[in-house]
Amino acid sequence: MRQIYGFTLAVLVLVMIAAGLTYLFEFPMLEETFSGASETPRIVALSAIGCVVMASLVFGAPRAGEVLRAVVVWGLIGLVLVGGYTYRTELVAGGYRILGALAPGMTVPQTDGTVAVMRDASGHFQLEALVNDNKVRFLVDTGASAVVLTEQDAEASGINPASLSYSVPVSTANGRTMVAPVSLAQVSIGGISLSNVRGFVARPGSLETSLLGMTALSRLSGWQVEGERLVLKP
């Protein structure tokens, strides 16, 4: 019983400290009244008096050691919470980096309909998308004018290699090569679905990873890099 009372007084002390900081630094915790005066100190004071009265009626006088122990414990917990809130941006960014390292290519649908992609350990954005219901790993390349598939990804996505005509010259990091124009019936990225996307298929051996270029990205309403993640807007 005394421990519970000590806990009650510890919480009371922390509430009073929070009220003092609120009053000194004018944190906008509660709206001001019509007279312009904040209701925060009054409400906190009434709550504190209520805690004291109830604790005195229910419990006996606490031991000083119990009160001090409870104040220290809950004070440390409060400091951890305040520190976490203060550095929440850095913590979130670190979480995204860890997620990108543990699950590269994973797309995360957001509540607003956008799709987030985490930066991988190499500093690039890779993602897994469905091309004609076949899973394909893409490297997001804003410098590529179109979606470009490797021959293996194209064949796995239902494109017949025998029907391809490598007639379009393109410049890559490895020099000039020829690609075959194709139309992709469906490209799905997370919850975003694109139909009839213009793309190309690279010659065998000329491309290591399929590229998600501007013929797909330009179909979105927008996209932007936010720290360690790429946000795609449908």
Q: Which tokens in the block code for residue 154?
A: 């194209």
CATH number, domain 102-233: 2.40.70.10
Is residue 22 within 8 A of residue 40, CB to CB? The reply is yes
Question: Does position 226 have pLDDT exceeding 50, yes or no?
Answer: yes
Mean pLDDT of 171-198: 89
**Whole-angstrom distance, CA of residue 73 vs CA of residue 130:** 51
Residue 123 phi/psi, 5-degree rounding, is 90, 5
Is residue 213 within 8 A of residue 201, CB to CB? The reply is no
pLDDT at 215 (0 to 100): 95
Domain ranges of the chain: 2-86, 102-233
Q: Which tokens in the block code for residue 219?
A: 């179909």
Strands 115-118 and 168-172: unpaired
Contacts of 98 (CB under 8 A, 6+ apart): none
pLDDT at 10 (0 to 100): 60
Q: Give the whole-number percent of the chain exceeding pLDDT 90.
A: 37
Question: Does position 138 have pLDDT exceeding 90, yes or no?
Answer: yes
Q: Residue 188, SS3?
A: strand
Question: Does position 142 have pLDDT exceeding 80, yes or no?
Answer: yes
pLDDT at 186 (0 to 100): 96
DSSP-derived secondary structure for 96-156: HHHHHHHSTB-EEE-TTS-EEEEB-TTS-BEEEEEETTEEEEEEE-TT-SSEEE-HHHHHH
Mean pLDDT of 61-88: 70
Q: What is the mean pLDDT of the chain?
A: 77
Is residue 94 within 8 A of residue 225, CB to CB? The reply is no
Span 8-20, pLDDT tens digits: 556 555 665 665 5
E-strand spans in the chain? 107-109, 115-118, 126-131, 134-140, 147-149, 168-172, 175-189, 192-202, 210-212, 222-226, 229-233
pTM: 0.59
Q: Residue 219, SS3?
A: coil
Question: Does position 76 have pLDDT exceeding 60, yes or no?
Answer: yes
Q: C-alpha 140: how far from its chain's center?
A: 18
